[in-house]
Amino acid sequence: MKKKLIIASIVLLVVAISGGLYYNHNEEVIEEQEQLAKEKANMPKPSDYCLITYQQSSDNGKNWHTVIINSGKKPVYKAQCWKKYIHILDGFKASINHDDGIWHSKLKDGKIIAHPSMHFSDKPFEAEHTSTTKAGKDTQNKSKQNN
């Protein structure tokens, strides 16, 4: 009888200690999560709007349409915009087209790109700036003829 009582009290003691340790561990985890949430809330939020575009032609420079890389509707950090823009410029190995005198660069798929541009604003860009082609789509909403 004494053995059963000792074994039961040891099991009860182990369960109580395990429960206490588990509770303390959960409290520490919750405190860490709250502290991380406070630090994240105190981080500066992106406040700049960035519009990145370039002109693209799939018919050897006869018709051009604007391709939008970043629409300028969501706030982003300036460093992120510069990173995207520099990535575009790295692939922009341009040369002058002797027919029209404009700087051009060819993509891997043979399309010609020109006029990469980046604009910053404190407010979201209007719909008129973002109504043209998104990057990766082949619709032509704006085109201009080289005369």
Task: Name the pTM for this structure.
Answer: 0.53
Residues 4 and 57 in one domain: no
Please write the tens of the pLDDT for every residue from 73-90: 888 888 889 998 888 777
Residues 19 and 39 in one domain: yes
* Reported confidence tier of residue 138, pLDDT bands at 50, 70, 90: very low
Statement: residue 92 has pLDDT above 80: no
Residues 39 and 53 in one domain: no
Residues 99 and 56 in one domain: yes
CA pair distance 87, 74, nearest whole angstrom: 20
Structural domain span for residue 23: 1-43
Give the number of domains in the chain. 2
Residues 37 and 56 in one domain: no
CA pair distance 110, 58, nearest whole angstrom: 7
In a domain, 55, yes or no: yes
3-state DSSP of 29-68: HHHHHHHHHHHHHHCCCCCEEEEEEEEEECCCCCECEEEE
How is residue 141 annotated by DSSP?
S
In a domain, 146, yes or no: no
Cα 28 from chain centroid (whole Å): 33
